[in-house]
Structure 1
Amino acid sequence: MKKVLSILMVAVALVMVSSTVKAQTKIGYVSFNEIVASMPEAKKADSTLSQFRDALIANAQEKENALNEGIQKFNADSAKYTTAVKDVKRKELQTKLAELQGEEQRIQQELQKKQEELSAPIQKKAQDAVAAVAKEAGYTHVFPKEYLIVSPPADDLLPLVKKKLGLK
């Protein structure tokens, strides 16, 4: 009998703790993309990334122009060259062509690396603001708005986060 009473007391305690935990859960949501897009740092990063992309494209264009000039010069002067010189020049042009063909992939990799470099501090700042607002408002869970099908407007943390970051 004493064992049954002990088990019953433990079960009642677990039920009470469980209901207390449920009562303390507060769930909110926020559109992280909206926060980042409204930050002035994001606009500056986009501008920097665009300038970087333009510089990479201009560099690739210069390489292409140099290759075309080399081909034209080779075609114009090839009659003067010996077979050995022609082979060496052809090999140089083929090497430049191979480098140029890999240029697009290299540009994409460089752009992705630069974008990650520029966006990391912005995302960290936004994430820290969301965490601070959630803590201040007593939210235990914050989900991305894009993943929710139904959500009450009162639990949208976007206005609070924008206010915390000083955004309009």
Structure 2
Amino acid sequence: MKYFYLLGLSSVLTFSSAVAQSKTGYINFQELIMQMPETKVANDSLNVMELRLNNDLQGLVKEYTKKMQELDSLGSKMHNEVLLEVKTKEIRSAQENIQHYREQASQTLADREKVLLAPIMDKAKKTLKAVANEKGYTLVIDNSKEAVLVSAESDDLMPAVKLKMGLK
């Protein structure tokens, strides 16, 4: 019986000392990502792609507008039901093309953003992990959403991570 009592007491003391030794830090991870030069390059690339996609979309919108103007100009002159139906179908098709293009462009842009930002995020995480290990932190909380309400200034890992990455 004494053995179980000593074993239990030993476990509690070991757990208590492990908890006492754990160190928690925080960092605004989004701010760190935004300060990295790689992020600016990625954002510039995304902006160029978005501009190109928007220009292509404007071409589709111009085509749609042209078809609408044609239909309006024929207006009351059009007595042919078949021609009216053909023009109406062309307009619906142009509307569908615009909607489909918008969806595709949005997905393409999101996919490209993931591809460009993944290595940046990995680099930031690896550096943060290295700094946390060097400084003895066992838990790091992302403060991007201001989740950390009270903390010691010394537990903010941003300065140390920026230093290790060579950021100002």
State the TM-score, normalized to the length of structure 2.
Answer: 0.84
Match of 1:45 among 38, 42, 47: 42
Structure 2 partner of 1:165: 165
Partner AA of 2:89 in structure 1: K
Match of 1:129 among 112, 127, 130: 127
Q: Deviations over 1:75-114 (max 9, x none)?
A: 5568699644443343222211222244444443333222
Structure 1 partner of 2:96: 98
Structure 1 partner of 2:110: 112
* 1: CA distance, partners of 2:84 / 2:44: 46
Identity rate, percent: 32
Asked whether the equivalents of residues 132 and 138 of structure 2 are also in contact (C-alpha less than 8 Å), the reply is yes
Match of 2:51 among 40, 54, 71: 54
* 1: CA distance, partners of 2:81 / 2:5: 99
* 2: CA distance, partners of 1:159 / 1:67: 53
Partner AA of 1:138 in structure 2: G
Partner AA of 1:121 in structure 2: P
* 2: CA distance, partners of 1:73 / 1:8: 92
State the TM-score, normalized to the length of structure 1.
Answer: 0.84
Structure 1 partner of 2:69: 72
Displacement of 1:67 = 1.9
Displacement of 1:117 = 2.3
Structure 1: any 5+ residue segments left out of the alignment? none
Structure 2 partner of 1:154: 154
SS in 2 for 1:29: strand
The root-mean-square deviation of aligned C-alpha atoms, in Å, is 2.3
Q: Deviations over 1:98-144 (max 9, x none)?
A: 22244444443333222222222111111111111111221111111
* 1: CA distance, partners of 2:38 / 2:6: 57
Partner AA of 1:35 in structure 2: L
Displacement of 1:44 = 1.1
* 2: CA distance, partners of 1:94 / 1:87: 11
